[in-house]
Amino acid sequence: MSEHKIQYYLLHWKSDILAGLVVFLVALPLCLGIAIASGAPPFSGIIAGIVGGLIVSLASGSQLSVSGPANGVTIVAAAAIASFGYKGLLAAIVIAGLIQVGLGLLRAGVISAYFPSSVVRGMMAAIGILLMMKQIPHALGYDNSAEDDVSFLDENTSSDIFAIKESINSITPGAILLTLMCLGILILWDTKLIKKNTIFSLLPAPLIVVLCGALFNIFTQSYFPFLAILPDHLVNLPVFDNISKIFSEITLPEFSYFLRSDILFTGVTLALIASIESLLSLEAADKLDPLRRVAPADRELLAQGLGNIISGFIGGLPISAVIVRSSVNINAGAQTKLASFTHGILIFVSIFLFSHIINMIPLACLAAILIYTGFKLAKPAIFIQMYREGIDQFLPFLITIISMILFDSLRGVIIGVIIGLLFVIKNNYHAAFTLTKKDTSYLLRLNKDVSFVNKAPLRNLLRKINPGSYVLIDGTRASFIDKDILETINDFVRAGNDDGISVELKNVPPKAIND
């Protein structure tokens, strides 16, 4: 790092360290919650948070983006663990990282621009719905076996529904009371009343929730044992007395899995979703940046890929840039990537200083955080907004959601993109040409760039021209005319000679009549 950059980071060190502290307080509960939602060890979420803060922040070109375990890949991670175990997931994460590095080297940072916004919104809404379904058993105090707990996304959602039914029959009063209390805090913290208060607005809602959860557990154990949260319903993070113990807790990927087709498929899925989420987060962070700095998308893919390779090799969850943490970082006054780096250091330090306290956090608290997060991803207002934007936006949005719930993330996104493309082709099919008539004269105007998909509607329009007419074909508005379109025009000109049709071309390549 050059001396100039070091001086630049030191110039804003006070505001960056303070912002890093705020992001740490938000990120720590989410790291634990996402790990538990994935059916992975809680420590895996901590590892991902550390790698995102220490490695990705340095490799990224963004000054304000914050990376770590994200909700977007939770459903994929959970399904992977259910199918081939935690070590298999780690192998898929490494593969995803390698794919992201490859995309970065190929300068594929523009990939997010080719995904319709309706499909991206549908993907996030589906993640929100699945996230809420996944957390209902924890919220009600029902924790089944690890295998059943992560199998909520197999061929269908029947395991989800079964787990919810079982949890309703096995409600733990203390857990449901705590969940409702935590949801109330999260809702309250989103109101203008709290946001206008200088002191309360500085306290992250997830931090308040986990502190209240820990205090609730201590209080009920002493005074209301029938409401106390059982040890099985608490976070179970290893207690580290020294650095050497960390290495004993690190899980390595199963290297023999790297060539398995299902592992490769999961790796591709993780790479796709993590890349899209990272690039969208990067774009959002750039827009929120008061200095309007623009981070290179290709370098972001390289940074995220490097982070996932390292995280997968040492037992961490998949990583991506996260919009929520990035916006918190910016709102807390961050100026440079030192803030994100600071949050990574604080997560690392916390496992030595606060592991005993972290293990006092009830799973119901983290479930409340994730249920509220899922609701914000799939709130009714989003469905209403997409419906108002028209059927060409709403249908791909809705089909993406249904497909992801019924199948999996990758197939859901692919189906959504196909539906979106069909609407694009349909709109382009009808709007590419206009044909107007006056007496025996016709004007055929090419309204936009025309390709082979417009060949059929062009032929239909040309058939409407009567023999003995004059036709002006105007291509002024089209910067590109596909060869198939030129051949169709050429065929019409030749056939028109026999019918007495006179054709004049304007801004259409002359070879359409000279060939």
DSSP-derived letter for residue 156 is S
**What Cα–Cα distance (Å) separates residue 117 from each residue in 361, 396, 422?**
37, 10, 15
Domain boundaries, the chain: 3-418, 432-514
Give the residues of the chain that fall short of pLDDT 50. Answer: 145-156, 158, 512-515
Q: Which residue has the tokens 């190929």?
A: 106
Helix (H, G, I), strand (E, B) or coil at 260: coil
pLDDT on residue 164: 55
Pair 58, 272: CB distance under 8 Å: no
Q: Which residue has the tokens 């982070």?
A: 307
pLDDT on residue 147: 38
- Residue 378: closest CA among 133, 177, 214, 203: 133
Pair 424, 115: CB distance under 8 Å: no
Query: Kind of pairing, strands 470-474 and 67-69?
Result: unpaired
Buried b (16+ CB within 10 A) or exposed e, 338-366: bbbbbbbebbbebbeeebeebbbbbbbbb
Phi, psi of 452 (to 5 degrees): -60, -25
pLDDT on residue 220: 92
Level-2 CATH architecture, domain 432-514: 2-Layer Sandwich (3.30)
d(CA 353, CA 26): 17
pLDDT on residue 472: 93
d(CA 184, CA 180): 6
- Residue 319: closest CA among 115, 20, 28, 34: 34
Pair 401, 155: CB distance under 8 Å: no
Element (H, E) at 507: none
Which sign, positive or negative, has the C-alpha torsion 280, 281, 287, 292? negative
Report the chain's terminal Cα–Cα distance, integer Å: 61
Token reading at 288:
């929120």
| Sheet of 502-506, strand order | 433-438, 441-446, 470-474, 502-506
Q: Which residue has the tokens 């989003």?
A: 382
Buried b (16+ CB within 10 A) or exposed e, 90-99: bbbbbbbbbb
Per residue in 161-189, pLDDT tens? 555 555 555 678 888 999 999 999 999 98
- Residue 262: closest CA among 105, 154, 417, 424: 154
Which residue stretches of 170-226 are H helix? 173-189, 192-195, 205-223
Q: Of how many residues is the chain composed? A: 515
d(CA 301, CA 108): 8
- Residue 369: closest CA among 139, 215, 173: 139
pLDDT on residue 286: 84
Token reading at 176:
């449901």
- Listed in sequence order, the residues at least 6 apart from 383 whose beta carbon sits closer than 8 Å to its beta carbon are 125
Helix (H, G, I), strand (E, B) or coil at 333: coil
**What Cα–Cα distance (Å) separates residue 425 from each residue in 392, 421, 432, 487?**
11, 6, 10, 20
pLDDT on residue 95: 97
- Listed in sequence order, the residues at least 6 apart from 177 whose beta carbon sits closer than 8 Å to its beta carbon are 227
